[in-house]
Each structure stands twice: as structure tokens, then as C-alpha cells.
Amino acid sequence: MKNLFSMLEESINQTYQVNLQTFMQVPEVHPDYEAKHAEFLESYRKQYDGKEHDEEHHERAWREFWENTVGKQLHEDWEKSKKELLEQFRVIESSSNNSNREGQPKQVKNDERNKENEVFENNTSNPQPLLSVCQKQSKPSPLLKNRFPKTNSKHSSDECLERTFCETNIKQCKQLLSEINMEMTNTELKQQVLLFDMSKVMINDTKKRVHLILSSFSLLSELGRSLGSLAPAVVPIIKAILDKEVDSEEALNILAKKDNVEVFKKCIEKLMLLSEKAIGAYKNKLLKCVKDTIALLENVTTSMKTVRVVWSLDIPSIAKATACQDMTHILQFIRDILTSKGVHDPSRSMLNELFLAVSSEHFNLAIQSQPPASLDSSK
């Protein structure tokens, strides 16, 4: 556990160093550069009553402003990340100690949950779940008799069986909530390790997608009853993604499948219709789920486009070709390569991501090129 903590802490420190070096040397690649620069110009004019100063004075004031705002924010984020990491490990260590103290009763509870999960997996892997469940529920239990009114109508009977089947899948959805909560903790820890690895140039999109997956899936699970007949289609998708690492390429590919996208779109339509007549907290929850699910699908579309472009680039080679060059040259080099790949009008965010990736590789090359410290045997 201590080794893992040290590794994660080192990753946080290295991320801070890379960000600080990159954004201090090349402010233009910072996502808030334009807003910060406009804020500086307004402050500069007010401070000097619109008087003109030489370019050197202006540049010196800008650098000071940039370091006091962005540099300070980077430092605060670094301190916050270290504090959050420490808190997460304290929670994990505390949970581990509690599990050890609980002993055998805890094991029995885990065995019961494993049996439930086994039943759940069998249900979701069944190629004809509706037929199977309807056959099992042909004789309603006393609980179902109380829940649904008696009727001789065949239509009502079919509706009863369909609702029973949906409730079964809703229960399966609720079982996923605990998995989602556990995945949140695991993902938050793992995100600390995601430095500027070249296989994850799209780190910002990935972080956003992880958040949207967890938020959307939690709400979809809670709203399983509202989804009705769509619940059986949603459950296997959620389960398949949670079985993978939610920030992995496999999870992204599952989300991007045409059939799965259609399922989520139908869920959005269903929840939108329900929200028109809903009120209060229930309405807010429906709209929140719709908003997060739409944002998730948009993120998936953008990420898939970015993945296709970025994975085709050789970042280390670009870094070597642009070593010791200024920002303008590096960005133009990146634009030329993107043009050769068919991307003629890259977005600012894509250029920023690629520039940061190349800058990170420059940082690694600089470290590797440093000669090892010699040992003076005379001391």
C-alpha cells in the first residue's frame, strides 16, 4: 500500500512539474489563456490610466500577472490533489481494517452477494430474457397479486408480466449502484496515475467521460422503473462497461457501438416525455439524467474522432523533430501533420492536447539526456 501511495504521489508531483513548465513557458496553450489575457489587459489599463508603456514593461507585467494567477492556481490544484490522495488512502486503509475486524459474518454477506451477482450475470447473458422471465412468472407470487389488480383481460395479464420483467431488471440496475460507487473510488485513484502517457493524449475528454458515465449510469439505474421496457436493454450495456475499466478504450468502444447508442437515445426520448408531466425532485432527476446522457454521447463521438487522429500520430518522433523549437514552429509542425492525416481545421482543444503531449515528451527527452551524477571517490 505504501509503495502504491508513493507511486501515485510521484505521478501527481510530475504532473504538476510538466504543467507548470509548459504553461509558464507557453501561456498560449493554456485553455483559459484568452480569458486571462483579456483580464490582464483590462487590469493593466486601469492601473496605468491608459498610459502607454514600452513593450518590455508590458511583457514584464504580463508575466507577473500570469505567474500570480495561473501559477498560483496550479500550485493550489497540486496541493489539493495530494490532500485528496491522502484522504482516499485513509478511507481505503480504514475500510480494509474494518473488513478484517468483521471476520466471518462479512464473508457470509459477500458469499450471498456473489450468488446474487451470479444470478444477475446469468440473466443478462440470456439471449431470450423476456421469454424466460415470463415463463417463470406465469404464476404470480402473493406479492405481485397485491401489487397488480386481478383481471381476466389478456392484455392486462401481458402488461403485468412485462412490468414484472421490468422490475426484475430494475433490481439488477440497483445492484449496479454499489458497483458504480466502488468504480468511482477506483477511478479517482487511477486518474492520479494518468500523467501525460502518450496512449492517453485525450486525458481531458477521458476524465469528463468517466464522470458522465458514473453520473448517467447511477441515474439510469435509479430511474429503471421509469424506463419500462427499455430497462432490459440498458442493463447489459451498463454491466459490460462496468466490467471493463471505465476510462479504457474497451469501454469507449462499447459506448460507441451503433446499437448501444440507439438504446441510449431511446432512453433519452422516454425520459424527456416523462419530464414534461413530472414535477419537483423527480422532474429534476429526469432532466439531469437526460442532460448527462446526451453529454456522454457527445463526448463519445468527439473522443472517437480524436482517438482515430491521435493514435495515428507518432508523438516521440514529432518531439524529436521539434526539439529546441519555439511554440509557433511546433504548432505549425503539428498542423502540417494533421493536414496530411485529413484534418484541415483542427480544434483549439485538439491542438492544445497534442502540444502538451509533445511538450511532455520534450520534458522526458530532456531528463533522459541529462548525464548521470558522477561519484567523487575522493569524498
Q: Give every CB contact of residue 17 below 8 A, 6+ residues apart in sequence.
A: 363
Inter-residue contact 225 to 258 (CB < 8 Å)? no
**Positive or negative CA dihedral for 286, 287, 288, 292?**
positive
Report the C-alpha dihedral over residues 85, 88, 89, 93, rounded to 10 degrees.
170
pLDDT, residue 104, reads 47
pLDDT, residue 118, reads 44
pLDDT, residue 225, reads 81
- Give the count of alpha carbons within 13 A of 145, CB side only: 5
Question: Which residue numbers in the chain have pLDDT < 70?
Answer: 1-5, 7, 50-53, 92-93, 95-205, 305-312, 349, 369-379
- Convert 62-94 to b/e letters by CB count within 10 Å (16 or more is b): beebbeeebbeebeeebeebbeebeebbeebee
Residue pointed to by grid coordinates 429526469: 286
The model's pLDDT over 132-174, given as tens digits with 9 standing for 90+, comes to 333 333 333 333 333 334 444 444 455 555 555 555 555 555 5
Residue pointed to by grid coordinates 436493454: 233
Which SS3 state, helix, strand or coil, does residue 378 take? coil
- Give the count of alpha carbons within 13 A of 115, CB side only: 5
The model's pLDDT over 194-228, given as tens digits with 9 standing for 90+, comes to 333 433 444 566 777 888 888 888 888 888 888 88
CA 107/CA 88 separation, integer angstroms: 24
